[in-house]
Chains A and B, each alone.
Chain A
Amino acid sequence: MSASPARRSIGFAALGLLAVGAVALSACTPAPEQEPTASAAPDPDATLTVGLVLEPTNLDIRHTSGAALEQILVDNIYEGLVTRTEDNGIEERLATQYEISDDGLTYEFTLNEGVTFHDGTALTSADVVASYEAVKADASIQGNADFADVASITAPDAQTVTIALTKPDQNFLFTLTGPAGLVFKNGDTTDLKTAENGTGPFVLDRWAKGSSITFDRYDEYWGDAATIGEVVFQYIPDFTAGVNAALDGTLDVLTAVDPNLVSQLEDTGDFTITTGRTTDKATLAFNGSKAPLDDVRVREALRLAVDHEALVEAIGAGQTLYGPIPELDPGYEDLSDVAPYDPTKAKELLKEAGHEKLDLTLTIPSFYGTTAAQVLVSDYAKVGVSLEVKRVEFPAWLEDVYTNHDYDLSFVLHVEPRDFANFANPDYYFGYDNPEVQDLYEKSQTEIDPDKSAELLKKAARIVSEDHAADWLYNGATLTAHTAAVSGFPTDSINSRIDLAGVTKSAE
């Protein structure tokens, strides 16, 4: 790409000549005629095409982690007893109701009637028991660790499931809204990596790997049927290509719009852009078990040196976040007082710690944009810290940073909701070990009253922030563009859940 101007202009001229040839060729294939606008009423059999960035690697949501999988499968194909609302609240799904005993140890769920798996079999409490027994017994199933306190899962009758815990777990119900809580048919032989047999309002029609996944409406759905006939998830890994696809009419909805490209969509007047809240925490991890980051003064300096407001501005969406808990999770508190932008103080702290000049490495998975790293490099240069940015593929990040804890600074978007536990786990790659925080977290989990539990989390989060265990660069927001024909497309938290049952598309 370093062609000289002379060579480039010759290239242009030659390409121009070839253009003439291609015109002749393209003239042979007529463009499809546009149908005239008929009416704006929702078309129950319409096809909705949704552009997404990250394609799942397989469909086995029981064994494979990743937002890409949860995002499309949960609630659409598979369902749990309970589910999450857009703002991370909990509501009933397969269960009509649930009751938690006063001591917080027993959960009783009553199942909806008339629920069937996509193969036509009726769902009973035995399926729920078998699904949850498997999560508890099999370490390779997602959520196995979250089931550690489950004592027993029983089915008193065909419509009731009772789960007993060994100790109260404030997060248990929320765990059931994730992959661990999904219900699979007892003794099913479906290969979950490539096929499915869920109970949701959609069935898997086709997966063209590397390109798209198609869902069809499940007509025997037990609840309100989906208001759309077919959904196509079109995977476009490149942000610009995604916008192009929306502009040329290939997509009805584009998720995860790059904020810098929004104006291109807005300018056409054909798209509505929504901004959704998320629990994405852009986490700048400090390797606290290794010098010089084991010195709290260095960590504090590294936080004070970052102009978070300017960073959010540069990213183009989201809001500042100064602690481990985002707004959508219990225990959130505005902690901006802990690390306000103060490069002068940062310099002083570094001097005090004996690091007037400091060389650090930032390890960052290559699929993230360059903006955050660029801002950090320039902010840190102002306080005498020179930052070397090491962009690596995600598996390499997993090995170096996550598994081997071999890093200085690391940048990753932690998207999971309610993942404060990582700061209460000294073995996690943050390497943050504070018994007081661990104790507070444990108490918050065994506390039965949700408000008191949130208070304990809030306290723990403040300590983590005051220890400068990490820096939280921003709390991400997700931009979604859709055409006027689409309505009811979810806005918040759609990078972990896109509930499509209520989406409509009018016949244009």
Chain B
Amino acid sequence: MIRYALTRGALLIAGLLVSSVIIFLTLRVFPGDVAQLIAGTQADRQTVEALRESLGLDKPLLAQYTDWIGGVMRGDLGTSQLSGASVGAELVEKSRVTVPLGLMALTIALLIAVPFGVLSALLRGRGGGTALSIAAQTLAAVPVIWAGMMLVVVFAHWLGWLPAQGFPRSGWATPGRAFESLLLPALTIGIVEGAMLMRFVRSATLQAAGQDFVRTAAAKGLTRRQALIRHGIPAVGLSIVTVLGVQVAGIVVGSVVIEQLFTLPGIGRMLVADVGTRDLVKVQSELLVLTGFVLIIGFIVDLVHHAVDPRQRAEEG
């Protein structure tokens, strides 16, 4: 187990390093720089050059990369070239919107996926099961931004129950309002992700139904449905954990779009704004943190899997 964890950990670190290089290089293809943006359209070349130098933008790429990654390794995510604020501190501040949004979206996704997925498996071959399958297929295919706009039309415009955009200025000091303003965005991501997850739960449940231990249980006198619910579903749980890891990445990506649509001051919107202003040191660190987050979730999922699933351990054995 320890050997597995170490190997898997080394892979994680290598993954992070490779990502950092890719992130750094791909951002360099953008035309324009932050010095020119700060100086504005009335500035002469001298002013722009002076600014560029003071921001370190005139240094060779390798030096810029090592400066950045060296700082990250020491736990310093850098400071924004534009605002002079600490990137780490701003990430923490913005995560107060994005993390609850993600958790709410995940909860909604699970609330949709697990009961409806199992139900649709149980009802396989009947009208209800087919209807659920079609609904899942359809919803999973809906672009997040379109789903968001539909929800805004229904709940904010027609019914006027929920705010269409924004986050209270007082933040979580007014928890009711903060929760309200995250509800529509979380529903948007949750429905789309939930529909995707639901298809997975359905097929995993059906697979479990065909397993020996379920059949054995059925042979002992339980109905097929009882056997599936008592013994099959717990086994499905493990595979759901794996898919959830992937799902988290989907939620992170979804939040970039959704925060834009709902003008939520979260990590996604910060990222878009920073790319727009070419605050590249900041964008680099933000992307690295997000990538790291997804990679670490994958790492944890693998470790859990390894620890729980006897078959994997046996293979290693």
A396 near B30 with CB under 8 A, answer yes
Q: Sort A-B residue pairs by CB-CB distance and give the 6 closest, nearest first.
A: A65-B40, A395-B32, A193-B84, A210-B265, A58-B83, A399-B32
B150 near A399 with CB under 8 A, answer no
B138 near A10 with CB under 8 A, answer yes
Which of B84, B165, B169, B278 is the one whose CB lies under 8 Å from A194?
Answer: B84
Instruction: Judge if A103 is at the interface, Cβ distance under 8 Å.
Output: no
**B44 / chain A contacts, CB cutoff of 8 Å:** 145
Segment of B121-129, B139-147, B199-207, B305-313 in the binding face: B139-147
Closest to A236 in B: B263
Closest to A65 in B: B40
Q: Which residues from 2 to 29 on chain A have a C-beta closer than 8 Å to any C-beta of chain B?
A: 3, 7, 10-12, 14-16, 18-19, 22-23, 25-26, 29
Instruction: Judge if B276 is at the interface, Cβ distance under 8 Å.
Output: yes
- Given A396-B32, A399-B36, CB of A18 within 8 Å of CB of B191: yes
B42 near A419 with CB under 8 A, answer yes
Segment of B47-55, B238-246, B289-297 in the binding face: B47-55
Instruction: Judge if A402 is at the interface, Cβ distance under 8 Å.
Output: yes
Instruction: Judge if B277 is at the interface, Cβ distance under 8 Å.
Output: yes
How distant is the Cα of A18 from the Cα of B32 in the complex, in angstroms? 45
Candidate in A1, A25, A142, A209 with the most chain B CB atoms within 10 angstroms: A209
A395 near B84 with CB under 8 A, answer no
B165 near A7 with CB under 8 A, answer no
Which of A26, A193, A238 is the one whose CB lies under 8 Å from B161?
Answer: A26
**A378 / chain B contacts, CB cutoff of 8 Å:** none
Which of A139, A193, A208, A210 is the one whose CB lies under 8 Å from B273?
Answer: A210
**B161 / chain A contacts, CB cutoff of 8 Å:** 22-23, 26
| Contact size range, A | 35 or more
**What are 25 sample pairs from A and B whose C-beta atoms fall under 8 A apart?**
A1-B146, A11-B142, A11-B147, A14-B138, A19-B154, A22-B162, A22-B183, A22-B187, A25-B183, A29-B177, A57-B83, A58-B84, A209-B85, A209-B90, A210-B265, A210-B269, A211-B265, A236-B166, A250-B166, A395-B31, A395-B36, A395-B37, A399-B32, A402-B41, A403-B36
- Given A26-B161, A64-B38, A402-B41, CB of A237 within 8 Å of CB of B83: no
A209 near B83 with CB under 8 A, answer yes
B contacts with A: majority SS: helix
**A7 / chain B contacts, CB cutoff of 8 Å:** 138, 141
How distant is the Cα of A215 from the Cα of B306 in the complex, in angstroms? 55
- Given A26-B180, A245-B166, A395-B277, CB of A57 within 8 Å of CB of B263: no
- Given A58-B84, A66-B40, A402-B41, CB of A211 within 8 Å of CB of B51: no
Instruction: Judge if A60 is at the interface, Cβ distance under 8 Å.
Output: yes
**B229 / chain A contacts, CB cutoff of 8 Å:** none
- Encode contact with A along B82-109: 1 for CB under 8 Å, 0 otherwise: 1111000010011000000000000000
Q: Which residues from 50 to 91 on chain B have a C-beta closer than 8 Å to any C-beta of chain A?
A: 50-51, 54, 80, 82-85, 90
Which of A3, A14, A396 is the one whose CB lies under 8 Å from B135?
Answer: A14
B82 near A58 with CB under 8 A, answer yes
- Encode contact with A along B156-174: 1 for CB under 8 Å, 0 otherwise: 1001011111110101000
B183 near A26 with CB under 8 A, answer yes
- Please give the residue numbers on chain B whose beta carbons come within 8 Å of chain A beta carbons, in ascending order: 30-34, 36-44, 46-48, 50-51, 54, 80, 82-85, 90, 93-94, 134-135, 138-139, 141-143, 145-147, 150-151, 154-156, 159, 161-167, 169, 171, 176-177, 179-180, 183, 187, 191, 263, 265, 269-270, 273, 276-279
How distant is the Cα of A172 from the Cα of B131 in the complex, in angstroms? 75
Instruction: Judge if A400 is at the interface, Cβ distance under 8 Å.
Output: yes
A14 near B139 with CB under 8 A, answer yes
**A438 / chain B contacts, CB cutoff of 8 Å:** none
B32 near A57 with CB under 8 A, answer no
Instruction: Judge if A140 is at the interface, Cβ distance under 8 Å.
Output: yes
A15 near B150 with CB under 8 A, answer yes
CB distance from A208 to the nearest CB of B (A): 7
How distant is the Cα of A167 from the Cα of B307 in the complex, in angstroms? 82
CB distance from A390 to the nearest CB of B (A): 12
Which of B85, B147, B155 is the one whose CB lies under 8 Å from A22?
Answer: B155
CB distance from A56 to the nearest CB of B (A): 9
